[in-house]
Amino acid sequence: MPPTGTITVPRRFLALWFPFLPANRLRIAGGLNAGPDAPFAFVEKQKGAVRLAAINPLAGDEGLAAGMTLADARAMVPELQIYNSDPAADEDFLDRLADGCTRYTPNVAVYPPDIIIMDIGGSAHLSGGERKLSRSVKEYLGRRQITVRIGLASTTDAARALAEFSSGHHNSEMCAIEALPVAALRLDAEGDLGLRRAGLQTIGEVASRPRSAIAARFGTRAVFALEKLIGAAESPLNPRRHEIPWVFERRFPEPIASKVYALKVLHGLLEEAKIRLIEEDRGGRHFEASFHRVDGRVQYVQVETGLPSRDTKAITRLFDERLDTLADPLDPGFGFDSVGLRILRTDPLKPHQSQLEKEAREEDNSAEFLDRLAVRLGRNRLLTFRSRDTHIPEKSQVASAAIHDTTQHNWTAATQAEPPVRPLQLFDPPHPITVIAEIPDGPPKRFRWHGKSRDVTRFEGPERIASEWWLGGDDPLGAGQWTRDYFRIEDTSGRRYWVFRYGLYGRETSDPQWYLHGLFA
């Protein structure tokens, strides 16, 4: 066949597996109630039982694994911290990680809950080869303290399997694939068990058998999975649908050695991007500037905004402040030969007359202030509170990174005619107090706190709050999951307190304990 003049680029795929993605997501969002050295897990209800959906590395070190019942996990690790599983938040976090991976290739596919696969066949040479690109990806994620394992292969299925199951170095890709366990075929539990009962432990052992024998005993699905894994069948990549690429670049006929001029060029690119954003009624949320030196080194600088923006002055100011905080300052070396700008995330942004709309102007000013704080302090150190779907007072709000939280949180406020239902100051954990009541399950008549007795003149209640029994023994007060009866009380000096009796008398305990949970005034 005569040559056609077309160069065929070999397909190469880099798979990223995030074994602790929910834990990494929660830590980055600032939502951990315990310290970073505590084992914790995420739970969800499966087939009538509360089971572990995901764990952090420390929980794994204790022998815990996803799929275990919460009761079994508690028996092994009594101090285990529990969080509700949030698949939607995990998928959004995986999408944001995929956004960052587009710096290496535009062909990025997301496979929830924890896999990203990149087609690097036509882009690896831009990073100095496959090994350097792989190392760069691991360093990029490592700086964010994200646990990742990678697999590199000629098919998507093989790359994914190597990322998840490979446990050592091999002389060739095929040797590495043949050494994988049969779980890499991703069959159902019955098929996986059948292979192992037949004495087939590795992919190599399965591949050595006639395909007809495998199909007859384990079905055509096992044959098809094997063929895709070893590259005998097509294993296409399904990359994410990209919006119109927001990429801008300015090349120089001669290298420039002035950092100030390079920043002016960046401002010009932002002005160019603003025109397109206005045409599309969109605003940027995540901007990345790239400074390309003549020696091949590229320095990337990223900034994010809490709200969509196309205010070039504000975004330029964020870049200036980001550059001032870099541990590795922007160094032109022998000069820059180009400056680039990518907008990694955009959201709809309708124009408004900020001069006439006072509330909109105040919102813009607040958002800009938060963006600048996030640049200086770090986006994960700037937190906001959002409500959580729970009746337990100390769990009713959770801290999250303000830069990513654009939801309007409307907290219910008491009317002027009614006293507040919840105290302004909440003690976490609650303070134990000694209470005298007429009957064990009655309201308090007198209580002792900080060594001083106080007589109760008025009370409201009880307000009964049941425990979250389905989450297991996660009550910081210990002793089990008991009911709380809350009272709003007032002493002789007019001070108001929020106290509760822990445990139903006669049903949960014979000696209920009392706690002070907050102060109204």
How remote is the C-alpha of 375 from its chain's centroid? Answer: 19
pLDDT band of residue 1 (cuts 50, 70, 90) is: very low
Confirm if 67 and 44 have CB atoms less than 8 A apart: no
Q: Is the pLDDT at 245 greater than 80, yes or no?
A: no
Percent of the chain with pLDDT over 70: 86
Does a structural domain hold residue 472? yes
Provide the H-helix boundaries in 120-219: 130-142, 156-165, 173-178, 189-197, 203-207, 211-218
Does a structural domain hold residue 297? yes
Same-domain check for residues 149 and 17: yes
Q: Helix, strand or coil for residue 185?
A: helix
Nearest one of 328, 282, 326 to 305, comparing CA atoms:
282
Confirm if 318 and 305 have CB atoms less than 8 A apart: yes
Same-domain check for residues 132 and 206: no
Does a structural domain hold residue 263? yes
pLDDT of residue 232: 84
Quick one: which H or E segment has residue 91?
helix 87-101
pLDDT band of residue 479 (cuts 50, 70, 90) is: low
Q: Is the pLDDT at 362 greater than 90, yes or no?
A: no
Q: What angle do CA 120, 126, 127 make, to 5 degrees?
A: 85
Same-domain check for residues 357 and 484: no
User: Domain of 90: which CATH number?
Assistant: 3.40.1170.60
Q: What is the pTM of this model?
A: 0.58
Is the CA virtual torsion 56, 60, 64, 65 positive or negative?
A: positive
Same-domain check for residues 225 and 253: no
Same-domain check for residues 123 and 23: yes
- Least-confidence region, from 167-176, 256-265, 508-517: 167-176
Rounded average pLDDT over 118-144: 88
Does a structural domain hold residue 481? yes
pLDDT of residue 439: 87
Q: What angle do CA 364, 366, 370 make, to 5 degrees?
A: 115
Confirm if 385 and 357 have CB atoms less than 8 A apart: no
More confident residue, 48 or 106: 106
Same-domain check for residues 138 and 205: no
User: Bridge partners of 491?
Assistant: 456
φ and ψ of 504, to 5 deg = -80, 125
How remote is the C-alpha of 318 from its chain's centroid? Answer: 24
pLDDT of residue 6: 46
Nearest one of 300, 381, 310, 320 to 348, comparing CA atoms:
310
- Integer Cα distance of 482 and 507 in angstroms: 10
Q: Is the pLDDT at 359 greater than 60, yes or no?
A: no
Same-domain check for residues 271 and 206: no
pLDDT of residue 472: 55
Does a structural domain hold residue 478? yes
pLDDT of residue 204: 92
- Integer Cα distance of 195 and 358 in angstroms: 69
Q: Helix, strand or coil for residue 340?
A: strand
Q: Other C-beta atoms within 10 Å of 453: how many?
A: 11
Rounded average pLDDT over 263-282: 93
Same-domain check for residues 338 and 253: yes
Rounded average pLDDT over 322-345: 86
- Integer Cα distance of 143 and 222 in angstroms: 39
User: Domain of 343: which CATH number?
Assistant: 3.30.1490.100
User: Domain of 209: which CATH number?
Assistant: 1.10.150
Does a structural domain hold residue 8? no
Question: pLDDT tens digit string along 402-441?
Answer: 665 555 555 565 556 566 788 888 888 899 999 999 888 8
3-state SS of 246-309 is CEEEEEEEEEECCHHHHHHHHHHHHHHHHHHHHHHCEEEEEEEEEEEECCCCEEEEEEEEEEEE
Average predicted confidence (pLDDT) for the chain: 84
Nearest one of 261, 432, 224 to 338, comparing CA atoms:
261
Nearest one of 243, 247, 10, 228 to 119, comparing CA atoms:
10
pLDDT of residue 283: 92
Same-domain check for residues 263 and 332: yes
- Integer Cα distance of 117 and 247 in angstroms: 22
Does a structural domain hold residue 104? yes
Task: Write out the residue range of the structural domain in which residue 453 sits.
Answer: 425-519
Give the chain's domain count.
4
Same-domain check for residues 205 and 306: no
Rg (CA), the chain: 29
- Least-confidence region, from 148-162, 212-226, 327-341, 386-400: 386-400
Same-domain check for residues 226 and 269: no
Does a structural domain hold residue 6? no
Same-domain check for residues 17 and 146: yes
